[in-house]
Chain A
Amino acid sequence: MSAAPDLAFATVAELGTAIRSGAVSPTELATFSLERLDSVGRSLNAVATLTPERAMAAARRAEDELAAGVDRGPLHGIPYGAKDLLATIDYPTSWGAAPFRDQQFARDAEVIRRLDEAGAVLAGKLSMVEIAGGFGYEQANAAFNGPGICAWGRDSWAGGSSSGSGSAVAAGCVPFAIGTETWGSILCPSSFNGLAGLRPTYGLVSREGAMALSWTMDKIGPMGHTPGDCQAVLGAIAGNDDWALAERAPGPYRIAVLAGSAREAQPEVATNFAAALDVLSDIGTLEEVALASEMPWDAAASVIVMAEAASAFEEFIVSGESQELTAPEDRAGLHHALALPAVDYLRALRIRRKAMRALDETLTGFDAMVAPTMPYVAIPLQDRFDTWFGRERGPSLGAAGNLCGVPSITVMNGLGARGLPTGLEFMGRAGSERTLLELAERYQSVTDWHTRHPELGAGQKAMGKTQ
């Protein structure tokens, strides 16, 4: 490695300070990230394509600009990875799927363009579940370059569909990555890999140049070590500053606790959630709250995703190209939605309008609603999902949050079964990113879970950041 190994787990903020103090240069950082992605990252199946030419050019540009007194902000000279559904010129954008492995686009996605403008250094395109999981995969081996492997345990799944984004950041390859979420795909891999992951309000970050799975459910957001880093990234990629200007009412935080959300969770998840509530009770007031039980959150979200995904990929399905997908269950996984009645889709959209108002009403008066991000730790690589996802579980925030397009952030709140991370989710009203980020940052300021990092095997042990 060309740079000190303790750079592996440095935050964006720490690296920015190091760059400006001259302790490390953008080209050293870029070289470090490229080498680590190529070694550790590939061992976790986190890398789709490295972008060394682009990275070194951007790093040199950052060095020249900073030396000339041009400072583009907190991401200037910072390496990052982008989920491989974001278009990048000169490199493939595979969508995680064998039929698209050589696909190229003529323009960068808007998010990539904005990160370029902010001076960030794209080090690689990161692996993902094929077609962002839209074809109904039921096990981890659902990407053409292999199952995403959790940085904390090589016998465990990285989560999805932003698998590579999760494991690459957790393994210290890049300090932040861009993921996307239709339903769970930022929060799940962030939770499984012990990261801070932010799903912004729907529409805040442009989807131009990003693969569309579900037009009204897809969101793009940052994954990093801290809420502060997520905030710095959001500042660069968001389409407006309204979120940053939104202020909360003064006084202690008012936190809603999703009733029953730890029910049926793994014991350690429940224990860690209870411990997190103890911490939060020192930060603000807690009140147990239930989501409207009569609202068919899951059904509405499911039908919307099915219908939109089947339409977005109609030609791909009808032509038979989907038969080349990696996971056998994906090959005919969306065929059923070709016959989904329009009245079902429209009914889901009609329910959505009422659901948004109902959710906002529930969240009004609170700064955030909290719940365990996932009811279990990263699942074993060889297990089929119905062993886990099919179990009866307590309520969760995923369906309601994604159906209604509201933001959520997850942060690590402990270690659970098999020594793997557990996550704490904060969900808020539309446009409440600033409050969520501040609250999550406040939680991290009185805990130290975010300073824990995985052991990565012989010769790759993390140093500098220890338990």
Chain B
Amino acid sequence: MRYFAAQGCDFGYRMIAIAGRFAEFGREIDVRRSDMATRDDDSDSEGMLSDVAARLGLIETRIAQPLTEEQRDEVRNRISRSIALGVALRTYPLTNADEPEIGLVPYRGNDR
């Protein structure tokens, strides 16, 4: 399966499976440049499927309106993509000292 990061318009970016099918997702992810890692063994494939199923299960416990089958397939696709993004993020090494860009400004009240 081949993923391509594409610039779009606002959330028009998307990771898109050019092959168009996800039957073998996880067996091999062909990545674009150094942004993604390659997986090529069956245990990773099973892990990926298990991860997708687990996340979908979690999602379906939370939503008020059940998904159609077509929607469930698309949600699975998008979960796979976000898993791939997580893999891509982990190609870049970080240490304990690397803090997130989060600005906390303690509230001081209107009288100070």
Interface residues of A (CB under 8 A from B): 129, 132-138, 159-161, 181-185, 188-189, 213, 216, 293-296, 298-303, 305-306, 309, 317-320, 323, 329, 331-333, 335-341, 344, 346-354, 356, 374, 385-386, 389-393, 396, 398-399
Contact = CB atoms under 8 A, between A and B. Distances in A.
A338 B82 CA distance: 11
Contact of A347 (B7, B15, B89): B89
Contact of B15 (A216, A296, A302, A329): A302
Contact of B10 (A184, A216, A349): A184
Contacts of A293: 33-34
11 contacts: A133-B11, A161-B12, A181-B10, A188-B8, A332-B75, A335-B59, A336-B79, A350-B100, A353-B101, A389-B13, A389-B16
A309 B11 CA distance: 10
Given A184-B8, A390-B18, A329 B64 contact: no
A320 B32 CA distance: 35
A137 B12 CA distance: 6
B107 to A, nearest CB: 17
A182 B56 CA distance: 27
Nearest to A340: B82
A329 B86 CA distance: 22
B86 A303 contact: yes
A338 B58 contact: yes
Nearest to B68: A332
Contacts of A159: 9
Contacts of A183: 7-13
Contacts of A185: 9-10
Contacts, number: 194
Given A296-B91, A350-B98, A353-B101, A336 B9 contact: no
Interface string B2-26: 0011111111111110100000000
Interface string B58-75: 110011110100010011
Contact of A299 (B35, B94, B102): B35
Given A301-B13, A356-B101, A338 B62 contact: yes
A390 B4 CA distance: 6
Contacts of A319: 64-65
Interface in B30-55: 32-36, 55
B88 interface: yes
Given A306-B82, A347-B90, A351-B89, A135 B74 contact: no
Given A302-B85, A340-B82, A184 B12 contact: yes
A386 B20 CA distance: 10
A181 B64 CA distance: 31
A392 B31 CA distance: 11
Listed residue (A189, A299, A356) with the most chain B CB atoms within 10 angstroms of its CB: A299
Given A347-B94, A351-B89, A160 B10 contact: yes
A332 B74 contact: yes
B12 A133 contact: yes
A305 B11 contact: yes
Contacts of B16: 386, 389-390
A295 to B, nearest CB: 7
A336 B75 contact: yes
A91 B81 CA distance: 39
Given A320-B64, A389-B7, A398-B7, A138 B79 contact: no
A137 B8 CA distance: 10
A302 B4 CA distance: 13
B39 to A, nearest CB: 16
Contact of A385 (B12, B58, B88): B12
A299 B100 contact: no
A194 B63 CA distance: 42
Nearest to A393: B6
Nearest to B5: A298
Contacts of B65: 319-320, 323
Closest 7 CB pairs of A and B: A320-B65, A349-B100, A133-B10, A299-B88, A339-B55, A390-B16, A298-B5
Contacts of A386: 14, 16, 18
> Which of B6, B10, B55, B89 has the most chain A CB atoms closer than 10 A to its own CB?
B10
Given A138-B14, A318-B64, A353-B100, A184 B9 contact: yes
B99 interface: yes
Contacts of A306: 82, 85
B75 A335 contact: yes
> Of residues B8, B13, B78, which shows the largest number of chain A Cβ atoms within 10 Å of its Cβ?
B8
Contacts of A346: 100
B18 A161 contact: no
